[in-house]
Structures are given as structure tokens and as C-alpha cells.
Structure 1
Amino acid sequence: MSVDLLVRDAYIYVDREWEIESGWIAIKDGRIQALGKSGDEPVSARVISANGRLVTPGLINAHHHMYQNLTRSYAPVTNGTLFQWLTGLYPLWANIDEESVYLSTYIAMTELLMGGCTTSMDHMYVHPKPFLIDAQFRAARDIGFRFYATRGSMTRSVENGGLPPASVVQTEDEILADSVRLVEKYHDAKPGSMGRVALAPCSLFSVTENIMVESAQLAEKYDLRLHTHLAEDPQEDEYCAEVYKCTPVEYFERVGWATPRSWVAHFIYPNDEEIGRLAHAGVCTTQCPCSNMLIGGGSADVMGLRRRGMRVGLGCDGSASTDHASMWLEARTALLLGRYRNGPNSMSARDVLDVATRGGAACLGWEDEIGHLRPGACADLVIWQMSDVALAGAHSDPVESWLRCGPAVAGTTIVNGKPLVENTQPVMSQLSSVLREHAKHARRIQCFEV
């Protein structure tokens, strides 16, 4: 057997309950061809030695807002509540355009790769200009990143009971027409796809009931996933009680979203009965621990949700609320938060790794091909790297050491069988010029002189 790429001398976390202490992974045509223990490696056109390091499936980011890295750590809103943070930043986000979205997406995907992420969705819900998601697909293609776009939307501006200014909302007809256009142009449901599309009205306090219903119907027609924010903040409960006379989860069910097509971000404030109903309906959720902790809005009980039968993924959330795009940091924070909340026996590093891989794949409806390294899976994997000082004394368990020690970064990140990070550095030759242009756009959007 001859293959395209061989990763050898690795401690391999293949999947739940399958680890290879000293082994190799053979890659051919963008797929995991075979795995084995050291000593019987196939012939390969290229060999990468992991030098005994941990290799895992690529982490999957199941909730993000990539354009927000244009307003990271924006001082006037760093200490506000969720609603204060949103209303402070919406006027700035009204200044994004196709080029700034391309640049911010390029930077976000590069940063994700450096933190061990190989597949990410993005929730682009601010649309002051057309063709913003087109720019994201262009960035993903230029990098070679596996991308799951979600066509977000807002219809309620401050003039009719919402939070955002009128400049970033759209009519229902505009949203639905562009959703169909994007799906027909970019959604690739075939095995090994590098780009897919889901529908994602932003939140119950920023869209009309009709757009939620129409999106669910459109998802049925085109066989798409659905995504939104849900039960994120106590103010959401107050808003929903006043406007819809029900809880956020009851509203979610009323508009036809309680189906296996749906995954939601945050899901911090449902009651026990609501958790049971959505878990039974097959809805998945995504925890975003760093963002939730920085805004001070609480965080989902990951292991509690899993015990109730709900699949849970992990997400960075917006780069203006979490201010980074490291899935390793999210994973470590999830571990610390889970153990702080429920005790030291409640969550292990393997639990978190399962959430960040299999859980994210479940959110995206893509468990057959990503989130594991079984033969036939997409060849998306990470060779993790830490300093010898950070790992000094850690010899008994590479997976636990991965999160308990650190910081860890991706030494090598492989997507679709191609290394996109090598020796901890991105391989993209145009990154320096993208960073320069990104800085210009960020200063413009934040109203600094350029």
C-alpha cells in the first residue's frame, strides 16, 4: 500500500474508547486510509513524525462570529451585559463590507487552525452589505479550510422592538431570497465536502416569528441544518414573556424548530422539563465557556445536558466577546468550568475532547466523516505541541496532560489531507498582507484614523 502522507510515532486518540499508544496514520486522497501500531507502516510520499506527541481529530468549532475580530477588546463595551454589549457594537458592525469580511474570515480561520480546529461554522447575521457570506467562502477556499456557513439574519431593528439599528437588518423577502441563492451556489452535501450552508436567524429578540417558521420550512425543502441562539441570557426570558407570552424554549418549539435539524448556541437558562423535551426532539447545543464567562452570563452544564441525552459541542463564539479563536483554550476552560461546577469527578479531559470533536460533528450533522480518525474519515487531524518545560513530569496520560498542562498549540494541523500549519506556523504565504489590510479595516470600523 502506498499513501500520500504518513503521520508516525504518535499517541493517537482515534475516537471514543480507541487510542493507539505508539502508532501511525496513513492518509490518501484526503481520507484516513488506515491506522496501526508502530512497526508496520506503509510506504508514503511524505512522512511527518509526531515524535511521540498526542494526535487527535481536528477540533470542531460549532459556534462563531468571525467578523467580530474586527472589534476585539473594544474598550467601551468590555464590561457590559450581553444586551449592553450588543447595542454598543451594532453601530460599528454596520460598517463591515465584503472586503472586511473576507479579511476577518481569513484571520479567524488561520487562528482556528493554530488552535487545532479543522472545521468551523460561522454565524454571519449582520448584513449591512450584500455578498458577505460569499466573501467567507472565498477565504475558506483560499486557505483550504473546511467551512460550514450559516446564513444568519435579523429583521427587528430598534424601530420595531429589537436591539440592532435599521442599517444591519433586512426584510424577510431579502433574507429568504439570499438564503436560497447561497444554498444553491455553495451548499455541498456530498461526502468530503469542504463547504456547507445552514439557516440561522439570529435570535428570538432580533427576528420575526414568520422568518423562524419560513426558515424551518426552507430547511425541510433543501434538507438543511438550522441554528440560532437560545436561552442565553435572563433578559431573553423577559423579552420573550413580554412579546411572545411564553419562554424562549416554548417559542422555539412553537415555530417548528424542535427537530433533529437544529442546534443552538449557549442554552444556559432552560428549565429541567425544557431540557428533556429538546433532548428528546434531537436538538443539539453548543457551549461557549470563555465568552459566557467574560460577559458574566453563566454557562451551560455540559455533563448535565449529556446525561439528559443532549449532544453538546464546543464553540469559540464571537471574537469580540471571547476575543480569541483557540479551541484548545475553550476546551481547557470547559474542563475547568465543569469541574468547578460539579466536582473533580464530573468531567475528564476525554469528556471534553469528545465534546470538541464528536459533539461538534453532531451539531453540524456530520458525524460520519469528521470528529474522529476511523478509516474512511476525512483526514482532519492535529499533532499537538507543548514546551518540554510545560510537560516536565507528565508521563502517565497524554490526553489528560493535553488539557491539564499547557498551553498547547497545534504543531501540525492537517485538513483534507493537507498540512495548513507546520512547526506551529500557518503555511499561507499571503498572511502578512492580510494582517496589514485587516488592521486598516479594523481601525476604520472602530472609527480610528487610518
Structure 2
Amino acid sequence: MSRIVIEGAHVATLDPARREFVGHVVVEGNRLASVGPGSAPSYDDARVVDGRGCLVTPGFVNTHQHLYQWVTRGLAVDATLFEWLTTLYPVWARITEETVYVAARAALAQLARTGCTTVADHHYVFPRDGGDVLAAEITAAADVGVRFHPARGSMDLGQKDGGLPPDSVVEDRDEILTATEAAIDRWHDAAPDSMLQLVVAPCSPFSVSGELMRESAELARRRGVRLHTHLAETADETDYCREHFGSRPLEYVAGLGWTGPDVWFAHGIHFSDVEITRLGTAGTGVAHCPSSNARLGAGIARVADLRAAGSPVGLGVDGAASNEAGSLVEELRHALLFARGRGGPQALTVRDTLEMATLDGARILGRSDDLGSLESGKLADLAVWNLTTPPHAGIADPVAALVLGTPPPLELLLINGRPVVEHDTVLTVDERALAAETRRVAAHFLS
């Protein structure tokens, strides 16, 4: 069994006592064996990592992403959400297995370089001649070595039925449900140390019929998997739901079975006071995507209010086509600044933000027993951040250096006990070759 010992680092455990100390972390196999102040026990067979000047955190959990969009960045950069979607849907209708595989590898490598160890990806575009695009991104995740929660998305409401997406990218409802259950049968691993768990994820109220929303919820609960969709992202969406369903977005989906601790919504910007209370009471989660929301001018989610009400609020980078950076560590800073810009300096603390990136994300995905904090017995998903560089040296609070400072170099990233990033370099893929491949595929795809 491999053993790794990190010595002398500032450790932010995120354990129930929220302990922080200068100390050690011992990894044995894929689990944490010891986390505590001071020096670790002496081992003859351990790899020892000098953590002096570094901060150790749990690995970050990305609760909302669209990996396939990595090869369509830089388009419709000044558009609203609905304008952006109508521009890009016809482009995405041409994705293939190769496109998705290359895009996913590149996006996942970037996420790993920015401290992310667990990724929930919402994939909802399935062209009929595109091949097995879900398998392509699952293969890419295995190549990079991240813990992966692919959300099998779907759209059955095209333009001819009053929906937003073109008819060429929607599927038949029965076909969707059959394919989703087949994906669960083929891929889902419910084990505590699972690297791959499926999610049922119709796209949004303006691209999915009510029947599909209801039957998807029934399928997910019958199979014991989680539910995810976009909701309350823009004021346009609220207007659409009032016009078509006679209700606000949350009221509409709640009537179809879409609230509870097994559900989380992407964005959740335009919730009322009453709706926030309802979400908190139900334990329904929200994936907060501050950079994408700002890029599209959609608004700022009421993160502090949602958390106070009892909703777990995780972080997400969203699609690379609405967040060209694709960096999860940057979302911590943006989440903090935007929350304070909306609600004042006490709206969110630096440690609240770190909690959102770790514990809250793990809770949303149903993995809080094994992920989200550094405690003996939990899975060895962690990040070691180098704070000795000129931009960070001398910052009194290591957590503030991570959250408020420029993104620090990643000295080490362990996923399931395996080194995936070292000295700010991804070990599992050739980043230079991957960049060249991404340029080639993007140029061919967009031509």
C-alpha cells in the first residue's frame, strides 16, 4: 500500500470543529490515515512531501460544468443567455465523440490544475450521428484521473413545440428515459470510494417537457441516483415559465417532484424570499457559478440567504463557452467578492467560501461521508497550495491567500490517493500535446 506524508503545512481540515493547524497529513492507499498538528509518525516506506509554506485543503468539488463546450469558447461573448444559446445550439448540434473526448480532457486537466478533484458534468446534447458522447467524456475523466459525476442530460422540447433549442438537437422522451437508465446500468458505481456516479439531469424548463421532468425524477429515485437541472438563471426564464406554465420556475418544477436533498439546481439566481425558505427546508442544493453568471449578465445568486436557509451551495465553473477560464479556484474569489458586493462585507467569509468549494459540494453530490474534509478515514482527495511565491509570501492568513490572492501554484493534487498534479503540472496527460490537439479539433469543428 502506497503511503504519502505531507509535513509542516498549514492544514485547513474543514472537519466538524473546523480545525486549522501547522501539522501533517498521512495518506495510506486511497484514504487519509492521520491528520493532525505537529509531525507525523515515522515510516520507513513513505514518500515525504515538504509542506512548509504550503496550505493543504480538501480537493475542490465542481458541482456544475459542460465539458464539451471547451472547443467552442470565445463565441457570442457579448450576448444574453437566450441569445448565447440560440447562437451556439446549432454549433453544438455537430459535436461528435472525438470533439467531446478532446474537449473533456482539456477542460478536466484545467480543473485539476486549479484544485478540483470531483467534477459533476451536465451533458445534454446528443446528436444522432455523433456517436457515444457520454462514453467519450467518461473515458476522458478516467484518463485525467478525476472523480466524476456525469449528469445524463436531455432535451425533448424543440422550437416546433415552443422550446428554445432547435429541433435537430432534441430527443424523443421514451428514447431519453431508456438511454438514461442504460447509462446507469452501465456506468454507475454506488460504492463509497466510487470514481464514477451517474446523475439524471433534464436540461431546463424551456427545453424539456413537464412529462420528461416528472418521469426523470421518478427514474432517479427508483434507481437511487441524484437529480440536477438548470433553474432560475435569468429573468427571461421566469417570464417564459409564467407565460407557458402560469407559475414561477421553482413552483413549476416542485410540482413535478423536483425538490429535496437529492436535487440540486444550477445557478438559482432569481429565487424569492419564500422560495429560498422552501429550498432550505427541503435541503435542495444550488450550484453557484459566479463567473459564468457575470459573463452572461444573468445576475448574482443570493448565496448568503440560501446558505442561511439551509441549502447547500456549491461552486461550479459552468460551461467553458460562458467561462473561458474554466478555473475552479477562481470561482472562490468571485463568489466571495460578488456576495459582498451584493450583501456587504459580512455576507460571506473566506472560510465560508472554502466550505462551499469542499463540504457543500460533497453534500450536494451525496458524498459528504467520504469527501469534503480532511479527516482520518475519508478519501484522499486533497490539494497542496504553494504560498511561498512573491504574490503570496507574507499574507498573514493562508486561507485568505488562497481565496483572495491570485491563484497560487498547485504543489500537489491527490485524487483517490493518486498524484494527478505535481509542481503545477498535470501528470496524467501531456498538456502541450493536449493544447495542440484542442486547437486542431476546435479549428476543424468551427470551420
**Which piece of structure 1 moves more, 426-435 or 211-220?**
426-435
How far residue 80 of structure 1 moved from its aligned partner, in angstroms, is 0.7
Aligned to 1:197: 198
Are positions 1:9 and 2:30 aligned together? no
AA aligned opposite 2:325: H
Please list every run of 5 or more consecutive structure 2 residues that lacks an aligned counterpart in the other structure: none
How far residue 446 of structure 1 moved from its aligned partner, in angstroms, is 1.6
Aligned to 1:333: 334
Give yes or no for contact 2:53–2:386 (8 Å, CA) kept in 1.
no
Give the direction of change, closer, same or farther, for the CA distance of 1:42–1:168 in structure 2 (3 Å limit). farther
Aligned to 2:416: 416
Aligned to 2:103: 104
Q: What SS is found at the alignment partner of 2:13?
A: strand
Give matches, 1:427-442, under 5 Å. Answer: 427-442=427-442
Give yes or no for contact 2:307–2:313 (8 Å, CA) kept in 1.
yes
Please list every run of 5 or more consecutive structure 1 residues that lacks an aligned counterpart in the other structure: none
Give yes or no for contact 1:204–1:240 (8 Å, CA) kept in 2.
yes
How far residue 386 of structure 1 moved from its aligned partner, in angstroms, is 4.3
Q: What SS is found at the alignment partner of 1:369?
A: coil
Aligned to 1:113: 112
Give the direction of change, closer, same or farther, for the CA distance of 1:404–1:412 in structure 2 (3 Å limit). same
Aligned to 1:345: 346
Are positions 1:153 and 2:157 aligned together? no
Q: Deviations over 1:195-248 (max 9, x none)?
A: 000100000000111110110110111001000001111111111111111110
* d(CA) in 1 for partners of 2:387, 2:96: 38
Give yes or no for contact 1:386–1:407 (8 Å, CA) kept in 2.
no
Q: Deviations over 1:133-164 (max 9, x none)?
A: 11111111122210000000011112221121
Aligned to 2:384: 383
| TM-score, scaled relative to structure 2 | 0.96
How far residue 429 of structure 1 moved from its aligned partner, in angstroms, is 4.4
Give the direction of change, closer, same or farther, for the CA distance of 1:313–1:110 in structure 2 (3 Å limit). same
AA aligned opposite 1:434: L
Q: Deviations over 1:176-202 (max 9, x none)?
A: 111011101110010100000010000
Aligned to 1:267: 268
* d(CA) in 1 for partners of 2:40, 2:87: 59
* d(CA) in 1 for partners of 2:192, 2:106: 27
Aligned to 2:186: 185
How far residue 64 of structure 1 moved from its aligned partner, in angstroms, is 0.5
Aligned to 2:86: 87
Aligned to 2:247: 246
Q: Paired residues, what number?
A: 443
Aligned to 2:280: 279
* d(CA) in 2 for partners of 1:182, 1:258: 23
Identity %: 40
Are positions 1:29 and 2:29 aligned together? yes
Aligned to 2:294: 293
How far residue 387 of structure 1 moved from its aligned partner, in angstroms, is 5.6
Aligned to 1:365: 366
Aligned to 1:172: 173
| TM-score, scaled relative to structure 1 | 0.96
AA aligned opposite 2:398: P
Aligned to 2:57: 56
RMSD value, Cα = 1.4
Aligned to 2:19: 19
Are positions 1:126 and 2:122 aligned together? no
**Which piece of structure 1 moves more, 168-177 or 12-21?**
12-21
Q: Deviations over 1:252-286 (max 9, x none)?
A: 11111112210001111111111111221121111
* d(CA) in 2 for partners of 1:90, 1:62: 23
**Which piece of structure 1 moves more, 184-193 or 30-39?**
30-39
* d(CA) in 2 for partners of 1:345, 1:446: 45
**Which piece of structure 1 moves more, 435-444 or 415-424?**
435-444
Q: What SS is found at the alignment partner of 1:378?
A: coil
Aligned to 1:400: 400
Q: What SS is found at the alignment partner of 1:195?
A: coil
* d(CA) in 2 for partners of 1:132, 1:68: 13
Q: What SS is found at the alignment partner of 1:407?
A: coil
Aligned to 2:238: 237
Q: What SS is found at the alignment partner of 1:228?
A: strand
AA aligned opposite 1:423: H
Give yes or no for contact 1:386–1:406 (8 Å, CA) kept in 2.
no
**Which piece of structure 1 moves more, 222-231 or 16-25?**
16-25
How far residue 345 of structure 1 moved from its aligned partner, in angstroms, is 2.2
Give yes or no for contact 1:3–1:26 (8 Å, CA) kept in 2.
no
AA aligned opposite 2:105: Y
**Which piece of structure 1 moves more, 273-282 or 367-376?**
273-282
Give yes or no for contact 1:390–1:407 (8 Å, CA) kept in 2.
no
AA aligned opposite 1:162: G
How far residue 385 of structure 1 moved from its aligned partner, in angstroms, is 2.4
AA aligned opposite 1:243: H
Q: Deviations over 1:11-55 (max 9, x none)?
A: 001115433422111111200111122334341431111223100
* d(CA) in 1 for partners of 2:373, 2:394: 29
* d(CA) in 2 for partners of 1:204, 1:58: 32
Give yes or no for contact 2:220–2:227 (8 Å, CA) kept in 1.
yes
Give the direction of change, closer, same or farther, for the CA distance of 1:3–1:441 in structure 2 (3 Å limit). closer
Give the direction of change, closer, same or farther, for the CA distance of 1:332–1:302 in structure 2 (3 Å limit). same
